[in-house]
Structure 1
């Protein structure tokens, strides 16, 4: 009898990708979803990152929306924690948006060939 392949855990897959985002770079929820073969599941990526908050090893602050907005900021321990962490890595944030988003964007589909 043939064994069923092990089922993947989407949240764990998200965490694995987020851990690879270099310091000082950002990506989007949608880019992660697309890379994982789940285009259209950006919200699921967001839910995974909300659930990751107890895990310091997951740099969720590096994931923003497709326009560079810090839409996940309310899920951090303090209202300005996401921005502060990005700025500590040299990322400039203005009005809750990554100022040079296009230049800092890290696309897992291109970077993780």
Structure 2
């Protein structure tokens, strides 16, 4: 898979995250690893920062359930509108995490 194809795969997967659910950067990297040979949460974060504006970017959190840095308020509002209930400043991944293989 070329770098451009990997960007498209990340964005396509983020588009598939259902309303009211989230995925971590690492979970996205792991889900795409078999097809790409890549598995980097940091790379997924970079892709989201550069190209994620047209997809539901607010459904992607870090491994602790923290919202995208610098966009916490907008992400929190968007996720709350989808019915998520936060634990402090975090999304409880055990409750709202989504696995594309389920």
Alignment of 1:86-101 (within 5 A): 86-98=79-91, 100-101=92-93
Alpha-carbon distance in 1 for matches of 2:48, 2:86: 20
Q: Which has the higher contact order (CA 8 A, sep 6+)?
A: 2
3-state SS of the aligned residue for 1:66?
coil
Structure number with the higher helix fraction is 2
5+ residue gaps in structure 1? 1-5
Alpha-carbon distance in 2 for matches of 1:54, 1:91: 21
Report whether the alignment pairs 1:103 with 2:95: yes
Deviations 1:61-87 (A, max 9, x none): 0011112111x131x3xx510111110
Alignment RMSD: 1.8
5+ residue gaps in structure 2? none
Alpha-carbon distance in 2 for matches of 1:54, 1:24: 18
In the TM superposition, residue 53 of structure 1 has moved relative to its aligned partner by: 4.5
Q: 1:13 to 1:53 in 2, by over 3 A?
A: closer
3-state SS of the aligned residue for 1:87?
helix
> Normalized against structure 1, the TM-score is what?
0.76
Larger Rg belongs to: 1
Show the counterpart of 1:10: 6
> Normalized against structure 2, the TM-score is what?
0.83
